[in-house]
Amino acid sequence: MIAFSHVTKAYGDRLVVDDVSMIVEKAAFVVLVGQSGAGKTSLLKAVNRLVQIDGGSVRIDGEDVAAMQLTDLRRRVGYVFQGVGLFPHMSVAQNIWIGPRLRGTPDSARPARVAELLELVSLPADLAERLPAQLSGGQAQRVGFARALAANPEIMLMDEPFGALDPVTRRDLGLAYRALHDRMGLTSLLVTHDMAEALRLADRIVVVGDGKILADLPPAELLQFRGDERVCAMIDVVREGARHFSVLERNG
Amino acid sequence: MSDLLRLVQAHLLLSICAMIVALAIGLPIAILAARRPRIGAPILGLVSLLQTIPGLALLALFYPLLLFLGRATGLPIPALGFLPALLALALFALLPIIRNGVTAIRGVDPTLVEAADGLGMTGWQRLAKVELPLGAPVLLAGIRTATVWTIGTATLATTIGQPSLGDLIFSGLQTEDWRRVLTGCLAAAGLALTVDFLLGLIEGGLAQRRRWKVWTGAGLLLVAAIAALLPLGGRLPSDKGQTVVVGAKNFSEQYILAELIEMRLRAAGYRTERRDNLGSAIAYRALAAGDIDVYVDYSGTLWANVLGRTDTLPSAAMLQALQREMAGRDRVQLLGALGFENAYAFAMTRARATEMGIADLDDLARASGKLRLATDLEFQNRPEWQAVERLYRPQFREIRQYSPTFMYRALGDRSADAITAFSSDGRISEMQLITLPDPRRALPHYDAVLLLGPGIGNDPGIAAVLQSLVGSIPIDSMRAANWMVDRDADKTTPRQAAEWLDGKINRDRM
């Protein structure tokens, strides 16, 4: 369980997270949606302290992350982001093995574990010895997920993980991760600006705007949301897309 | 040939050691500067500033610095030779190492830094596993630049008494032995290119991830380093008490006399070492500090530079005063005058002097508005020049500075009308020059004198051996020996000239 309590973050005099409190229950899949600069990424990165918050606290299972050893915290929390960040001078297997290696796991365990993780993210085993430059975008991000999962984290933080992928790969990879989440009992926090993606993947959607939580509802209830017009606008985009689609289908 | 090999070895060893020191200092600074720009910026600025100091000056500045440190701490810090050369070269190599090091670390893709942090790497792990491997080609390019600079600049180490390929270049320049100069330049360039090629191999290997290239380059460099070290072991001055270090300034006469001193000492069973091309100002201080044991200087130089006197005494009185003052102050022993003077004298070609009706310095000063003067590099900064200006008030149309060899050339090709010649120079008789009398006695005497340092004062044998040289070299002999080395055709080495002079002294004695 992750508990945000009165979290505040400012860059200069611009407040990007403004006194936010919320709870992400164990094994929940929570998606943070909002426009660029809404503060969702800062909120996400407050969990593994890639962003240093100015006020409030973030607790994992009751333990304040500010009091935890930084490296321990980050090895407990998987992190996947749009940049992917595979190390170009290491093979796929070496990239995946970084987490266990940092914790001193003997290298003899590597082949079996790498094969297991590649299978988990639906990649062929013979990719293990390739260099990142030889992978497609979708393959690279699957390796990114495998690398984040290698340390057996309870929590996964994802910052626009599918942002750089084409729409089909994006949907496939999203659904594949959702399946992994369910199978492994992970606690997932994902940031996206794509409301359709949020509706597709989330147990709960948190809409963020100007550093505050504008709505916090399960997908089905969010569709009925009446209130803040920024939230309505985001839902309307998806709704209009669907309506347009069915009109086209009927008339075609 | 063996001389060349020895110099290549010394050059290589100096360069390698300087690079090791530079890397040991530069890499940590680069890492610090990359992580903390606030500390990094001023350091980088300081190192850039160092780079603007001319190499020659930086080397020379270490002499007084180390001398001072040695005095202040009471430790036996050598102020000449390997140590100051090493430090100056290492400082010089810092800039490309630090600058490229910072660029290498800061240039790493920020998403990779984010990934490394997100995976829970510590700062050091990120450095070792991500930043250094990815930045290696840039860092190595900086190391390559630094190495080529170092090998090139190491030729200047000669001027502070550290053997290097510069020995060939500097002595070749002085004696106009162009083959020697070229040999020194080519050897230094060849060395730089070879090392650059091997480092390039490593750099390319790292960039292309070809292990064999990296290992081949590193292996061959290691072989070179071992080759630079190995045979030197036997030559390190292990029993320094027996070895007499003979110093020489940077002109032919000094080389010849140093050779002559070495020959006499060796014949008496002493081992000798040479420190050549010492700056005029450095030589005496090096002797007083014990970095060299014996060399030849000139009374007028010592009078003005060491004692700071501007008056002019008769020769004998001047020598007595020098002997007393230097012994009392620096425990330097003035053994005696060799028998000739190498005095500053204004010289002109006989033809030009006749044409202008110039017979002495008074005439020269009167005609100076139409004349161009060529001096050596130090004359205008010397009290002698001030005395000439004060007593004769010349107003030359133009005054230019040359290294001694080129000063005579300037007179020869008529780009100068008068020069500040040296009275023992063989070219005076060969070029049919006349030296102008000095009726107002502005120029002091410059008797060549043998000086012994405090370090060998307790070995009366050395003084006894060298006593045989006192009063034994008349001006004609010295001019002839100098001419053997300085002439354009059929030139001899300083050693051959010294052998001739040695024979001449013995013949004169009979």
Could you give the CA distance from residue A199 to residue A195 in angstroms, rounded to a whole number?
A: 6
- Mutant choice from B119, B130, B206, B214 vs A, greatest count of A C-beta within 10 A: B119
Cβ-Cβ pairs closer than 8 A, A with B, add up to 57
User: Is A193 at the interface with chain B, CB within 8 A?
Assistant: no
Cβ <8 Å between A72 and B111: no
Could you give the CA distance from residue A31 to residue A192 in angstroms, rounded to a whole number?
A: 7
* Closest CA of chain A from B199, distance in Å: 20
If you count them, how many residues does chain A have? 252
- Strand-pairing partners, residue B294, are B246, B452
Q: How many CA atoms are closer than 13 Å to the CA of A156, on its beta-carbon side? A: 31
Strands of the sheet containing A63-64, edge to edge, are: A14-24, A2-11, A55-60, A63-64
B161, B291 Cβ separation under 8 angstroms = yes
User: Is A47 at the interface with chain B, CB within 8 A?
Assistant: no
Give the containing element (helix H, strand E) for B232.
none
Q: Concatenated DSSP letters for B331-343?
A: --EEEEEEEEE--
User: Is A68 at the interface with chain B, CB within 8 A?
Assistant: no
Closest CA to B117 of A138, A213, A180, A74: A74
A241, A195 Cβ separation under 8 angstroms = no
Q: Token digits for B59?
A: 């080397």
> Which residue is closest to B123 within chain A, CA to CA?
A71
Q: How many CB atoms lie within 10 A of CB A105?
A: 15
> Which residue is closest to A48 within chain B, CA to CA?
B118
120-149 of A, contacting B, C-beta below 8 A: 147
* Closest CA of chain A from B71, distance in Å: 51
pTM metric for this prediction: 0.69
* Closest CA of chain A from B236, distance in Å: 45
* Closest CA of chain A from B122, distance in Å: 7
Residue B130 DSSP symbol: I
Residue with tokens 């010089």: B92
Closest CA to A162 of A146, A182, A177, A180: A177
Closest CA to A188 of A224, A155, A214: A155
Cβ <8 Å between A81 and B121: no
User: Is A50 at the interface with chain B, CB within 8 A?
Assistant: yes
- Mutant choice from A70, A74, A97 vs B, greatest count of B C-beta within 10 A: A74
Could you give the CA distance from residue B499 to residue B468 in angstroms, rounded to a whole number?
A: 15
Closest partner residue to B118 (CB to CB) among A79, A86, A87 is A79
Question: Which ranges of B36-122 would DSSP assign to H, the alpha helix?
Answer: 37-52, 55-73, 82-106, 110-118
Considering only CB atoms, which chain B residues are within 8 Å of A50?
A: 114, 117-118
Q: Token digits for B112?
A: 């990779």
CATH for the B243-339+447-509 domain, from 2.120.10.30, 3.40.190.10, 3.30.420.60, 3.40.50.300: 3.40.190.10
Position A40 pLDDT exceeds 80: yes
- Domain B344-435 in the same topology as domain B243-339+447-509: yes
Domains of chain B, residue spans: 4-229, 243-339+447-509, 344-435
Q: What angle do CA B125, B126, B129 make, to 5 degrees?
A: 75
* Closest CA of chain A from B116, distance in Å: 8
B405, B173 Cβ separation under 8 angstroms = yes
What pLDDT, on the 0 to 100 scale, is given for residue B240? Answer: 38
**In chain B, what is the greatest distance between 2 CA atoms, to the nearest angstrom?**
92
Question: Is residue B110 classed exposed, middle or buried when 0-12, 13-18 and 19+ CB atoms within 10 A define those classes?
Answer: exposed
Could you give the CA distance from residue B442 to residue B451 in angstroms, rounded to a whole number?
A: 25
Considering only CB atoms, which chain A residues are within 8 Å of B125?
A: 102
| Residue pLDDT tens, chain B, 510 long | 567 888 898 899 999 999 999 999 999 999 999 988 888 888 888 888 888 888 888 888 888 888 888 888 877 777 778 888 999 999 989 989 999 999 999 999 999 999 999 998 998 999 999 999 999 889 999 999 999 999 999 999 888 878 889 888 887 877 677 888 899 999 999 999 999 999 999 888 887 778 888 899 999 989 888 888 775 444 444 343 468 899 998 888 999 999 999 999 988 888 888 888 887 777 888 888 888 899 999 998 888 888 888 777 888 899 999 999 999 888 899 999 999 999 888 999 999 999 999 999 999 999 999 999 999 888 888 778 888 999 999 999 999 988 877 888 888 888 899 999 888 988 888 888 988 989 988 888 899 999 998 877 667 888 888 999 999 999 889 999 999 988 878 888 899 999 999 999 888 876
Question: Is residue A242 classed exposed, middle or buried when 0-12, 13-18 and 19+ CB atoms within 10 A define those classes?
Answer: exposed
The CATH number of domain B4-229 is 2.120.10.30: no
* Closest CA of chain B from A137, distance in Å: 15
Residue type, B59: L
A215, A222 Cβ separation under 8 angstroms = yes
> Which residue is closest to A100 within chain B, CA to CA?
B119
A10: CB partners within 8 A, 6+ apart: A16, A54
Could you give the CA distance from residue B180 to residue B115 in angstroms, rounded to a whole number?
A: 58
User: Is A177 at the interface with chain B, CB within 8 A?
Assistant: no
Cβ <8 Å between A102 and B112: no
Q: Concatenated DSSP letters for B247-308?
A: EEESSHHHHHHHHHHHHHHHHTT-EEEEEEEE-HHHHHHHHHTTS-SEEEEEHHHIIIIIS-
Cβ-based interface (< 8 Å): residues of B facing A: 109-112, 114-122, 125, 129-130, 133-134, 209
* Closest CA of chain A from B37, distance in Å: 20
User: Is A46 at the interface with chain B, CB within 8 A?
Assistant: no
Q: What is the CATH number of domain B344-435?
A: 3.40.190.120
Considering only CB atoms, which chain A residues are within 8 Å of B116?
A: 85, 87
Whole-angstrom CA distances from B139 to B107, B198, B300 are 11, 15, 53
Q: Token digits for B452?
A: 């012994």
B368, B397 Cβ separation under 8 angstroms = yes
- Strand-pairing partners, residue B312, are none
Give the containing element (helix H, strand E) for B212.
helix B211-229
User: Is A53 at the interface with chain B, CB within 8 A?
Assistant: no
Could you give the CA distance from residue B317 to residue A54 in angstroms, rounded to a whole number?
A: 84
Q: Concatenated DSSP letters for A39-65?
A: SHHHHHHHHTTSS--SEEEEEETTEEG
- Residue A123 DSSP SS3: coil
Contacts 24+ apart (CB under 8 A), B119-128: B119/A74, B119/A75, B119/A79, B119/A98, B119/A99, B119/A102, B119/A147, B120/A70, B120/A71, B120/A72, B120/A73, B120/A74, B120/A75, B120/A99, B120/A102, B121/A71, B121/A98, B121/A102, B122/A71, B123/B35, B125/A102, B127/B31
Cβ <8 Å between B119 and A73: no
- Strand-pairing partners, residue B246, are B274, B294
